[in-house]
Structure 1
Amino acid sequence: MTSQIINNFKRFDAYAKTLEDFRIKTATGAFITILGGAVMVLLILSELHTYMSPNISEELFVDTSRGHKMRINFDIIVPRISCDYLVLDAMDSSGEQHLQIDHNIFKRRLDLDGVPIEEAKKEEILVSTTSVTNKSSEITKVTCGSCYGAAFNESQCCNTCEDVREAYKMRRWALPDLATIEQCKNDESIEKVNLALKEGCQLFGYMEVNRVGGSFHIAPGKSFTINHIHVHDVQPFSSSVFNTTHIIKHLSFGSDIKNANTAPLDGEMGLAKEGNKNNLYQNLYSTT
């Protein structure tokens, strides 16, 4: 009974096979069989890859929010310039300038071998205050210090080393040897100058900037703007003596994105083979 049912079912076979004795195997048939099998395997693997791959949808939209800031995280080592001579500046296309940024920025002094000399210190903005101390010096006794020819009028006084620097800066004159300036003899400026090329510095932290086109840089010398021109005062040195070789341990814009490389410059080293060589990595802030 069962065999009869099977025989009746076989009548529906539209591809009846011939007997083994009447079959002829050819090289062409073998080639077509192998080619067809390979094509089927490739199609299956391709469909499997497409199924397993995530679907990325790209969208472009206008950010209409205002007043929001973007965070820039960084950790950069400059092994041949001291922390006292390095400043961080940021400028954007809206005209806003952040000179000598020190909020949320830490500086760690390093020796020339890269070994930390002391713990990292956070730079704070100093507020001028008037205080009375028991220490007396010749500078405090002077009621109106000399500007060494850089004064614009007879009533201008330079009672501190910084006042003399500012006077020469406004005149656009080269600053003389600090050791010859009375106001600078007991000032920390001479020690900072002596250590400028004998130490390294690690700068790390973050800053918040406007979400518009702009740039930021780390450079030696005090920065200021004259006639809308951004300059750095590196006196008493020349700009060519500074070795701006640096190592980027970390640099990222905005918040981290999962499964995305948001810090492509990590581990990058900028080697300054010539004096005061500049490296340009990013001239526009990312807005993502």
Structure 2
Amino acid sequence: MGRGGGILEKLRSLDAYPKINDDFFSRTLSGGIITLASSLLMLFLFFSELRLYLHTVTESKLLVDASRGETLHINVISLSSSPLPSRVINVKKFDVTFPAIRCSLLSLDTMDISGEQHFDIRHHIVKKRIDAHGSVIEAKKDGIGAPKIEKPLQRHGGRLEHNEKYCGSCFGAETSDDDCCNSCDEVREAYRKKGWALTNAELIDQCEREGFIQKVKDEDGEGCNIEGSLEVNKVAGNFHFIPGKSFHQSNVHLHDLLAFQTDSYNISHKINRLAFGDYFPGVQNPLDGVQWMQERPSGMYQYFIKVVPTIYTNIRGRTIFSNQYSVTEHYKSLELGYSHMLPGVFFFYDLSPIKVTFKEEHVPFLHFMTHICAIIGGIFTIAGLIDSFIYHGQRAIKKKIEAGKFG
């Protein structure tokens, strides 16, 4: 019992908070006001820290991009061509608006520095005819369906007879005796492979019976909204929207403008959305909503894009592999002597060697507790200093007053 009492006495001697008898306390009005104000301030700062603790913070890092052999996903939300700027905004994969190029003449091509090229892309692409007010007239996947008619022109020049298999002429663009062109598009493709421009579509039997010429004429004065997505190699390259069908001649990239060639093309356009990858919180696509109206004669509008690979990991551990980008732009007018230049809108992209990682995290609980203790201790100490200063100041003034009275 004695040993136990000795231990308790030793513990009591370690008390860093000695208690003062209530008879020695002096409570003041200023002290009460300071206590109330400091308590409210503690409460406010506590809930501020609690809110920060419950919300996530995003940590970012810069790393060298060591990935190889990947593809780049281009989300082009919509590209439209119409006589006036389109007001339609579609939240899809890629979306740009041309105000004055009809759908039947608008084509999408891609090429990169590795030599890979894709002309008149139609996979995962949807075109929408737009009137002068930006309203959608018709929306369908790209391509012209050949109507079934009796006795179309055969490759040998005669008409299709009963039970005879149809094999349309390629009009001199055949590479072998077995080649057949059964639609206007197949004839155009055969011409493209030969490096020829199809400027006499009205003389092509397939184009005439499919109503291609009339279709183009019917769309006069309309615009076109084109939307979809692209998968390209993860190397520098470009994709572009141009009136006509691409072909090569003497190593020069040209376009077939059919029988509807004009001295100039209005390439005014509005990019409703353009993204290089999936959405993640905080991403900003600088070309979203950008609009450009052509005031000079026909030319080439170029966007030079620097793509930055980005990895975003949310608080649940879900990882999104995407990209951000910066952009500069330039316009080349045909009247400045660029005779070899094609009218259209070109997006030149290049990959940054640096990738950015974003990771959502909570503030550690120990950090939260440290901040709370710092708030309580700091405010308590400062409030005590203020209270002491006011209390001793009041006592000093009171003593001077009393000394003056006795004097």
Report what 1:41 is aligned to: none
Offset of residue 121 of structure 1? 1.5
Report what 2:277 is aligned to: 254
Question: After superposition, where does 1:184-203 map in structure 2 within 5 Å?
Answer: 184-203=207-226
Q: Secondary structure in 2 aligned to 1:190?
A: helix
1:268 aligns with 2:290: yes
Report what 2:8 is aligned to: none
- Judging by fraction of residues, say which structure has more strand: 2
Match of 1:280 among 302, 308, 318: 302
Distance in 2 of aligned mates of 1:164 and 1:75: 25
Report what 2:236 is aligned to: 213
Offset of residue 93 of structure 1? 1.7
Report what 2:3 is aligned to: none
Distance in 1 of aligned mates of 2:189 and 2:199: 7
- CA contact 1:78–1:202 (8 Å) conserved in 2: yes
Report what 2:64 is aligned to: 61
- CA contact 2:106–2:243 (8 Å) conserved in 1: yes
Distance in 1 of aligned mates of 2:266 and 2:123: 26
Match of 1:135 among 150, 154, 160: 150
Report what 2:327 is aligned to: none
- CA contact 1:211–1:285 (8 Å) conserved in 2: no
Does the C-alpha gap of structure 1 residues 172 and 257 become closer, same or farther in structure 2, counting only changes over 3 Å?
same
More RCO (CA 8 Å, sep 6+): 1
- CA contact 1:89–1:97 (8 Å) conserved in 2: yes
Percent identity of paired positions between Structure 1 and Structure 2: 30
Larger-gyration structure (1/2): 2
1:93 aligns with 2:93: no
Does the C-alpha gap of structure 1 residues 211 and 75 become closer, same or farther in structure 2, counting only changes over 3 Å?
same
Partner amino acid, structure 2, of 1:214: G
- CA contact 1:102–1:125 (8 Å) conserved in 2: no
Question: After superposition, where does 1:71-220 map in structure 2 within 5 Å?
Answer: 71-79=74-82, 80-118=100-138, 120-123=139-142, 135-137=150-152, 142-143=157-158, 147=171, 163=187, 166=190, 170=194, 172=196, 175-176=199-200, 178-179=201-202, 184-220=207-243
Partner deviation per Cα, 1:43-88 (whole Å, 9 max, x = no partner): xxxxx9xxx8967543122333324442433222221211111111
Offset of residue 268 of structure 1? 1.0
- CA contact 1:70–1:253 (8 Å) conserved in 2: yes
Distance in 1 of aligned mates of 2:80 and 2:109: 16
Partner amino acid, structure 2, of 1:142: G
Question: After superposition, where does 1:44-55 map in structure 2 within 5 Å?
Answer: none
Offset of residue 256 of structure 1? 1.8
Distance in 2 of aligned mates of 1:152 and 1:123: 25
* Structure 2 unmatched ranges of 5 or more: 1-19, 26-47, 83-99, 159-167, 310-322, 324-407
Does the C-alpha gap of structure 1 residues 251 and 145 become closer, same or farther in structure 2, counting only changes over 3 Å?
closer
Match of 1:234 among 257, 261, 268: 257
Distance in 1 of aligned mates of 2:153 and 2:113: 47
* Structure 1 unmatched ranges of 5 or more: 7-47
TM-score normalised to structure 2 length: 0.47
Offset of residue 169 of structure 1? 8.6
Distance in 1 of aligned mates of 2:206 and 2:124: 32
Partner amino acid, structure 1, of 2:141: K
CA RMSD of aligned residues (A): 4.4
Mean alpha-carbon deviation: is it higher for 276-285 or for 205-214?
A: 276-285
Partner amino acid, structure 2, of 1:59: L
Q: Secondary structure in 1 aligned to 2:299?
A: coil
- CA contact 2:195–2:247 (8 Å) conserved in 1: no
Does the C-alpha gap of structure 1 residues 222 and 62 become closer, same or farther in structure 2, counting only changes over 3 Å?
same
Q: Secondary structure in 1 aligned to 2:214?
A: helix
Distance in 2 of aligned mates of 1:240 and 1:284: 33
Report what 2:73 is aligned to: 70
Distance in 2 of aligned mates of 1:107 and 1:164: 19
Report what 2:357 is aligned to: none
Q: Secondary structure in 2 aligned to 1:205?
A: strand
Distance in 1 of aligned mates of 2:68 and 2:137: 44
Offset of residue 270 of structure 1? 1.5
Partner deviation per Cα, 1:168-208 (whole Å, 9 max, x = no partner): 994756834x4456665434221133135322111112111
Offset of residue 135 of structure 1? 1.5
- CA contact 1:215–1:284 (8 Å) conserved in 2: no
- Aligned residues between the structures: 237
Q: Secondary structure in 2 aligned to 1:279?
A: strand
Distance in 1 of aligned mates of 2:301 and 2:258: 22
Report what 2:334 is aligned to: none
